[in-house]
Structure 1
Amino acid sequence: MHDTIKYETIKHDIVKIERIETQAIIGAYEFEWEAPQPLILDLELATNFNKAFASDALDDALNYDAITQTVRAFCEQSRYELLEALAGGLIRRVMDDYPVDKMAVKIRKPEALKHALATIWCERSREQMDKLTLVEKRMTKE
């Protein structure tokens, strides 16, 4: 016999958007600011599906395409030295624009290392992000 799911223990439903291809001018070295570099991102977005269960309407769910376009535009318009700072700015932007309670992002920078793949992963809740002060995205190298 299967155990009954205790709905009060389920805290989040998860949407995953994987392999978002974009580019950004990003890096700690001067030569990295000469041209945009490719990035590949994976997102995990914690939200609540209850309204979508009842309505079957896109307005009651996360719009994957809109989120993907937001992420791509944010990366393409940003100027950070660190992937970590980009991740923080990106999480803040997605949480500002969409009903996401918790978010994880994995960012890969395929051309950063000659014989390896540079990757970062971070996860933050809305509550954690509300307590952080982030560096503002920079439009030019100082």
Structure 2
Amino acid sequence: MDRILIEALAVDTVIGVYDWERTIVQSLRLDLSLATDIRPAAAADDLRLTLDYAAICQRIQRFADENQFALVETFAERLAECLQQEFSIIWLRLTVRKPSAVPQAASVGLEITRGTLP
């Protein structure tokens, strides 16, 4: 199985548990690893036969624009569900970092894996 990678994608959204966080837009950084078989796309040199990472990145920002969550955990879980359903992704690993959450840390966040590899 092959993997499409998207690294350090900057996404702006309203997220946080504190009242002041609910009034500002914060930046998240996302890393994704998406399982697919690239051989058909490579053989035909056809974007329609693979995961379109530009379309996926656009959908992620639209998801962030349309939703406001208290927890990064909820953001990650719902985004993973969205991507798997809309792009027929059978397996993904998603890391979400919130750089501004803890001043003493470069970032904090989490990594989830969803789906099953064939």
Structure 2 partner of 1:88: 77
RMSD: 1.4
1:51 equivalent in alignment to 2:40: yes
Deviation of 1:54 (Å): 2.4
Aligned mates of 1:77, 1:126 — CA distance in 2? 28
TM-score norm. by structure 1 comes to 0.77
Cα distance between partner residues in 2 of 1:94 and 1:126:
15
Task: Return the letter of the residue paired with 1:13.
Answer: D
- SS of residue matched to 2:89: coil
In the alignment, structure 1 residue 120 sits paired with structure 2 residue 75:
no
| Contact residue 103 and residue 124 of structure 1 kept, 8 A | yes
What is the rounded CA distance, in whole Å, between the counterparts of 1:121 and 1:42 in structure 2?
9
Q: Distance in 2 between matches of 1:98 and 1:47?
A: 11
Tell me whether 50-59 or 80-89 shows the greater mean CA deviation.
50-59
Q: CA deviation at 1:78?
A: 1.0
- SS of 2:14 mapped into structure 1: strand
How far off is 1:76 after superposition? 2.2
Q: Deviations over 1:92-117 (max 9, x none)?
A: 11111113110111111111111112
- Residue 110 (str. 1) matches residue 96 (str. 2): no
Aligned length, in residue pairs: 116
In structure 2, the CA distance between the partners of 1:88 and 1:121, relative to structure 1 (3 Å rule), is same
Distance 1:105 1:75 in 2: 15
What amino acid maps onto 1:60 in structure 2? L
Q: Spell out, residue by residue over 1:115-134, the C-alpha distance to the aligned partner (whole angstroms, 9 max, x if none).
A: 1121211111069xxxxxxx
Structure 2 residue runs without a partner (length 5+): none
Task: Report the 3-state secondary structure (helix = DSSP H, G, I; strand = E; otherwise coil) of the residue aligned with 1:70.
Answer: helix
Q: Tell me how far apart the structure 2 counterparts of residues 53 and 22 of structure 1 sit (CA, whole Å).
A: 29
Question: What is the TM-score when the length of structure 2 is the normalising length?
Answer: 0.91
4+ residue segments displaced more than 4 Å:
none
Q: Distance in 1 between matches of 2:42 and 2:21?
A: 46
Question: Paired residue for 1:26, among 5, 9, 15?
Answer: 15
How many angstroms does 1:69 deviate by?
0.5
Q: Deviations over 1:76-95 (max 9, x none)?
A: 22111111110011011111
Percent identity between the aligned chains? 30
Unaligned runs of 5+ in 1: 1-11, 128-142
SS at match of 1:84: helix
